[in-house]
Structure 1
C-alpha cells in the first residue's frame, strides 16, 4: 500500500531531474531528425495536394485532398512542437554565455562554442519558422478545398437533371443502355478471367476456405451467439434490473453487425489472397465489405430494439404488430442501402453513362421514400390504436374503474413529423428533377434515425451498467465498499456520476458521428486535434491529459488528508492525553489544511502557479469582502474557537435563552445539543461577539440551592442537622466544598432557610436538587416538622 502511494506521489510530482536530462539528450539525438523529416514530408504532401487540385472534379477526390492537407498541417505542427523545446534549450545555453559586449574580445574556446551554438540555433529557428509557415499554408489550402467542396456539393444538390416522369430522361437512358450493358459485360468478363487465372495458378482452396468461413460466421455461429446471449440474459447469473434487456440488446447489436461484415471480409480476403480481384474491382471489393457492415448494422439496430417474438425484452415502445412490420421495413432499408452502395461502386468501376447514374439515384430515392412512407403508415396506425386505448381507458375511469397510466409517445410525434417532411421534400424534388437532393434527403433521414436509435440504446446501457456496477449489493460494489470503506450512499452517488460521464461521452460521440454523416470529417479531425492540443484560456493552456492528472492528484491528496485525519483521531491523539476538545480542534485543522494542500497540488499540476492564485485572490478580494462577508466572518471565528478554545466540545454553555452541550465545532458553525435532544446550530461569530455563559469551563462545579421556610416555633437546630445528614447521605453531593445551611430571614412568624451543596458538574444540579427535595419532604414528614410558605392562610369557622 505504501509503495503504491509512493508511486502515485512520484507520478503526480513530475519526472526526476535525471529523467528530464535523459529526455533532453534523447530529444537532441533522435527527435530533431524525426521532427525535421516530418516537416519535409508535410511540405512534399502539400505540394502534391496543390498539383492534384488542378484535376479534382469529384467530391471523393476533394475529400481525399482535404484530408491530405489536414494531415500535412498536423505533421508540420507536430514537427514544430517537437523542435520548440530544443530551441528553448538552445536559447538557455546561449544565455549562459552572457551578452557579447561591443568591442570586447572573448576567449577563443568560448567564442568557438558561441559560434556553434548560434549556428545550431539559427538552423532550429529556420526549421521552426518553415514548419509554422507550412502549417498555415496547409490550413489555408484546406479551407479553400472545403469551400470548393461546399460549393460543388451545393451545386450538385441544386442541379436539375430531369424528372423520372419526363420521357426525355428515359429516352436518353434507352440510348445509353446498350453501351452501359457492354461496359458491364466487359467488367464481368474481366472479373471472370481474373478468377479463372487465379484458380488455375493457386487453386481454389483459399477462396473456398473464405466462402466456408463466411458461411460459418453468418449461419451457425451467429445463431449460436444470439441464443447464448438470450440464455445468459434469462439465467440467474445475469444482473438484476434493466441491465438484462439493454445488455442483451447491445450483445445482439454487436453480433448482428460484426459477423456479416467479417463474413464479407473473409470472402474478399480469400479472393485477394490468390489475386482473384482485378484492379478495377478493388474499390468494389472494399465497398462490398463496407456496405455489408453498414447494412448489417442497420438491420441489427432494428432487431435488437424491436424483438418482435419476445415482447418482454423489447426496448422500443411499440406493440407486436408494429414491431414486426417495422423490423421488416428496416431490413428492407438495410438491403436497399447495401444494393445502392454496391451498384454505385459497380457503375463507377464500369464507367457507365451519367444518365444511368442519375436514373439509379432517382430510383433509389423513390425506394427510400416508399420505405419511409410505409414506416409512417405503421407509426400512424400505432398512434391511432393508442389513442383508442386511451379513450376506452378514460371511459372506464368515468364508469368508476381505475385509470391506468397513459403511455407517452412523444418520439412517435417527432418521428412522424420528420418523416412527413422528408417524404414531401423528396417527392417534390424527384418530380421536379432534383434527384441528387432527393437521394441526399432520404439517405440522411435514414442515417440520422439509425444514429439516434443507437445513441439512445447506448445511453440506456451506460446508465444501467454504471448503476449496476457500483450498486452496494453487486459483487464489484461489495468488494469496493469493503476495501475502501465507502458508504452505500457514496457508492450509489459514484454510480450516478459515472453514468453521467459516460452519457456525456456518448452524446459527444453521437454529435461527432452526425458531423461525419454529413460529410464534414475534416472538421471533426480539427476538433479532435484542438481538443488534444489543449484549450488556451488567457496565457494558460489546459490539456485533457493535464486535467486527468489534476483530477487524479486531487483525489490522491484528499485521500491522504483523510488517512492523516483518521490516523490522528484513532491512533496518535488518544495517546497524547489531550481532552476531546483539543483532539477535535487538531483533527479539524489538519483536515482543512490537507484539503487546501490537495487543491494547491492539483492546481500546480495544471500549471497554475501560486503567483496566479495570488492575482486571482486579489482580484476577487473585493467581491469576497462584500458578498461573502458573513461566511468569512464565521470562518475566521471558527478558527479562533479552534485555536483559543473559549468553548470546547463537551462544554455546557448558555447563550441567550438556550443552553446545552457542545457536540461539534466546525469552521463555520457550532452544534449544541439542548435539553430536548434537538440540535441548535449557532454561527461561530455568535460565540465570539456575544456574551455566553460557559457552565463547565475550567472544570466548574455545580451548586444545588434549597430554599424553604418553617414556623418560628420549630427546632431550627434539629432542621439544620437533618439537612446536613441528608447532604452527607447523598452520593452526588461533594464533601469539599462542604454543604452549608443558612437562616436567610425571620419575619412574619417564619424562619426562611437557604441551603447550599455542591456536585461534580453543573449537569447534575437539576437531578440532585430534585432528589434532595424528595428526601427533605420524606424526612420532615417523619419527624413532624412543618414546612410552610409565607402566604399561608388559616380559615377559622365560627359555629355560633
Structure 2
C-alpha cells in the first residue's frame, strides 16, 4: 500500500507539474499544487519559484524511484519463482545461475539500504523546515494558528516525500529474506555434493572398472561438457594421446626447473658470502624471481596458447590449460618450500632445523606440489571425460593416499626439529633464542593437525566419500600455503624495510615498533578471507560481511560502519600526533621564556595534552558523522553505573583535575602521604606517581591526596629544618657543649642564618644529659647529607673539647640464693 501511494503521488505530481490549458488555450485557473495551500497574491515571485522547484524535485525523485522499484520487483519476482520451484542436487552450471541471481539481489539490497539511509531531496528539505519550526508543543500547550498550519503542511509533505524511502525499506527487507533462502538452497546442494558416496575404491570391481575405462578407444564427454563429443579437426583422440601431451609439457617444465637449479645454487652461495645486509636481501629477492617468475612466465605462455586453441582444437586447448594450471601449482609449491625451508641458507629458514632435516622437508614439499599438480590435471579432465560410476573413486583414492603420506611425513619432519636441538647445540640455541617461560607451540599443534587430516582423509576416501576427503585435504593444504605465504611476506617486507629505513627506524623507535604490528594486522585481514574460502565459505558470503562493514551496524538510531571507525581512528590519530607536537613545541620554545617552576610547566603541558585529546575526540566524532544525541538514554544508564560501580574512579578523576588546577602538589615536590614518602614524578588524572627514596615507584590515588593529610616539604620553598639529638656526660661542661654544638652548626655552608639555629637541653636522661640541635638548610632535599655531616662535626668538636658522649650504664647485681 505504501508503494502504491508513492506511485499515485508521483503520477499526480507529474501531471500537475505541467499546467493544463482550457479550450481557450489558457491555463486552467484552478490548477494548483495539491500539497501547497493557495498563495496570496502578495507573495514574492522568488518564493513561488522555490516552491515550484521543490515540487519538480519531488516529481523527479519519485520518477527515479519508480524505475528503481520496477527493477527491484523484477529481480525479486525472478527469485521467488525460482525458489517456489525448489531445487536439490544442483549441477555446477545451475549453482552458477543461483549465485548470479544472489549477487544481483545482494547488489539491490545494498542499493535499497543506501536509498533508505540517504533519503530524497524533498524529504531532507521538509525535515529541515520542520526542525526550523522547533519542537512541537506539549500536550497542554498551544501554538499560534499560522505556525500550526505550517507544521501540519510540512508533516504532510514529509509523509508523502518519504514514499521512496519507505519503498526502499520494503525492498531491503524482502531482499534479505530472499538471499537467506537462496543461501539455504545453495548450501544444501553443496553439502549434497560433498557428502556424496561412491563405490569404495577398495572393492576389486572398482579397479576392474578403471582398467576397463582406460582400455576403451575413446573416453566419452560428460553431459553438458564444454568439450564437444565430436573432436573436430583432431579426429579420434585416445586417453593415451592426452597423456602424451601432458607428459611432453611436464618434461619441458621439468627441464626448465633443472636448469634453474644451478642458478639458484649460485645465488645461495653468494648470499652466504655476503656480509652486507642490503646485498643479501637483493640477492634473496633475485633468487625468488628466478625460482618463481621464470617458470610462471613460461606457464602463462602455455595458458595463453591453450586459450587461443579453444575454438579450433578444444581438446588440445584443454590439455594446455590443464597442464599449465598444474604447472603453476607445482612451481608455486617449490618456491614456497625453497623460501621457507631454505635448505642451503640456515639463517633464512622459518622453522629452525638441521640441514639434513631441512633438505628432507624441502623434498617432501616438492613431492606434495607434484601430487597436487596431478590432482589439478585429474580434476581438469574429470569434468569433461569422466570415468564410470564404479571407477570414480579409484584415482582420487590413489592421489589422496600419496598426498596423505607426504603430509604425514612433513609433519613428522617438522616435529623432529626438537631432536635436532638435542643433537645439535647450535640448533637448540636458535630454537630457544628470544623465548622464555611458557609459550604456545603452534608448529607442534599444526603438525599434529596435519597427521590427523592425513589419516582421516584416507579413511574417508576408502569409505567412498572422496569428495569430502578431497575437500578436507585441499582446504588443509591451501590453509598451510596461505599461512606460509603470509609469514614469508611479513619476513621479506620487514627485511626490506629494515635495510631501506634503517636510519628512520633508529630516530623513530616507537613508529618502527608499530610497523610490524600494522603489517601483521594487514596480512591477517587478507589471509582470513582466503582461508575461509578454502574451507568452503562462498565469496558471496564474504561479500555480505564486507557490505556490513561498509554500510554499518545499527545501534538504536545510530549506525556505525567500518568507514566511520576508520575515519574516527585516523582523525583521532592525527589529533593525537598534533597534540604531542604542540606539547613539544611549547616545551622547547615557549616554556623556557616563562618564569615558571618545573611543577607549573608540567601542569601546563598536562593540561594541553588532555585538552588536545578531548578536542581530537570531538572532531573525530563529528568527522565520522556520528550523532550521539540518540545515545542520551544509554549515557544516562551509564551514569548510574558510574555513580555506584565507578565512584572511586570518578573521585580520583575529579581529584586529579583539582590537583592540576589548584596545584597543592606538583612535579618535583617532596611529599609524605601515609607510609609513602618521596619525590613527585607525575601528577596524572587518576593517580600521582611518587619516586620513593629506595627507588620504588609508588602510585597514590588522587582522592587520598585531596581528602587525606599530605606533608609537602617543598610546597612554598625548599627551606627545611634538620634536627639532631646528642647526649653528654653529666660531669661535662654544659655551656662549652652548647657552644661547640652551635659552632658546628653555624659553620656548615648549607645552614642559613635566618631562621637562626638553636641548641637546647631537652631532658635529663638515664645515662646522659640530652641536647637538641635545630638548624634550617636551604635545600631540604639535602637534609640527610647535612644531618650526617653535622653529626660528624659535633662529634669531632666534642672530642677536641674533652666532652664525652657516655654509653648507657647498667648495674647488674647477682645474689646467691
TM-score, length of structure 1 as denominator length: 0.69
Q: Residues of 1 paired with 2:732 and 2:412: CA distance?
A: 107
**Structure 2 SS opposite 1:693:** strand
Q: Residues of 1 paired with 2:804 and 2:207: CA distance?
A: 128
CA contact (8 A) 1:703 1:757 kept: yes
Q: Give 1:561-576 correspondences, 5 Å limit.
A: 561-576=579-594
Change (3 A) 1:425 1:690: closer
The equivalent residue for 1:90 is 122
CA contact (8 A) 1:759 1:765 kept: yes
The equivalent residue for 2:533 is 513
Give the total of aligned pairs: 704
CA contact (8 A) 1:69 1:141 kept: no
Change (3 A) 1:256 1:531: farther
Alignment partner of 2:101 out of 36, 49, 69? 69
Deviation at 1:69, TM superposition (A): 0.9
The equivalent residue for 1:139 is 179
Does residue 1:644 correspond to 2:687, yes or no? no
Change (3 A) 1:612 1:458: farther
Change (3 A) 1:219 1:114: same
TM-score, length of structure 2 as denominator length: 0.67
**Structure 2 SS opposite 1:671:** strand
Q: Residues of 2 paired with 1:34 and 1:654: CA distance?
A: 75
Greater percentage in helix: 1
Write the deviation string for residues 624-645 of structure 1: whole angstroms up to 9, x where unpaired.
3444444333333333222222
Q: Residues of 2 paired with 1:297 and 1:557: CA distance?
A: 45
The equivalent residue for 2:357 is 319
Change (3 A) 1:692 1:335: closer
The equivalent residue for 1:265 is 303
Q: Residues of 2 paired with 1:580 and 1:566: CA distance?
A: 15
CA contact (8 A) 1:296 1:334 kept: no
Write the deviation string for residues 62-98 of structure 1: whole angstroms up to 9, x where unpaired.
2211221122213322442454466443213345677
> Is there any run of 5+ residues in structure 2 with no aligned partner, and where?
1-53, 132-144, 237-248, 433-440, 812-817
Deviation at 1:313, TM superposition (A): 6.2
Change (3 A) 1:236 1:778: same
Does residue 1:361 correspond to 2:379, yes or no? no
Deviation at 1:508, TM superposition (A): 1.1
Change (3 A) 1:298 1:142: farther
Q: Give 1:711-730 correspondences, 5 Å limit.
A: 716=735, 729-730=747-748
Write the deviation string for residues 181-239 of structure 1: whole angstroms up to 9, x where unpaired.
9999973333589xxxxxxxxxxxxxxxxx9xx99996799779967975785563885
Change (3 A) 1:655 1:265: same
Alignment partner of 2:484 out of 449, 454, 457? 457
The equivalent residue for 2:653 is 635
Alignment partner of 1:165 out of 176, 180, 205? 205
Q: Give 1:214-613 correspondences, 5 Å limit.
A: 230=268, 234=272, 236=274, 254-255=292-293, 258-268=296-306, 270-271=308-309, 276=312, 290=325, 293-294=328-329, 296-297=331-332, 301=336, 319=357, 322-323=360-361, 326-327=364-365, 329-347=367-385, 356-358=387-389, 361-372=392-403, 374-375=405-406, 411-429=446-464, 437-438=465-466, 440-465=467-492, 468=495, 474-482=499-507, 485-487=508-510, 491-492=512-513, 494-498=514-518, 500-502=520-522, 504-515=524-535, 518=536, 520-611=538-629
CA contact (8 A) 2:482 2:531 kept: no
CA contact (8 A) 1:295 1:338 kept: no
Alignment partner of 1:188 out of 212, 222, 231? 231
Q: Residues of 2 paired with 1:479 and 1:705: CA distance?
A: 55
Q: Residues of 2 paired with 1:269 and 1:242: CA distance?
A: 40
> Is there any run of 5+ residues in structure 1 with no aligned partner, and where?
1-23, 100-104, 194-210, 348-353, 430-436, 795-800
The equivalent residue for 1:671 is 689
CA contact (8 A) 1:393 1:404 kept: no
Alignment partner of 2:700 out of 644, 661, 682? 682
Write the deviation string for residues 13-68 of structure 1: whole angstroms up to 9, x where unpaired.
xxxxxxxxxxx9xx999999998777666666667778899899852222211221
CA contact (8 A) 1:77 1:132 kept: yes
CA contact (8 A) 1:733 1:758 kept: yes
CA contact (8 A) 1:232 1:238 kept: no
**Structure 2 SS opposite 1:662:** strand
CA contact (8 A) 1:723 1:741 kept: yes
CA contact (8 A) 1:302 1:330 kept: no
Change (3 A) 1:231 1:596: farther
Deviation at 1:447, TM superposition (A): 1.3
CA contact (8 A) 1:70 1:142 kept: yes
Write the deviation string for residues 750-769 of structure 1: whole angstroms up to 9, x where unpaired.
99877655432444555445
Q: Residues of 1 paired with 2:413 and 2:764: CA distance?
A: 101
Higher mean C-alpha deviation, range 579-588 or range 313-322: 313-322
Q: Give 1:635-784 correspondences, 5 Å limit.
A: 635-656=653-674, 659-699=677-717, 701-703=719-721, 716=735, 729-739=747-757, 757-765=775-783, 767-768=785-786, 770-772=788-790, 774-775=792-793
**Structure 2 SS opposite 1:647:** coil
Q: Residues of 1 paired with 2:543 and 2:611: CA distance?
A: 44
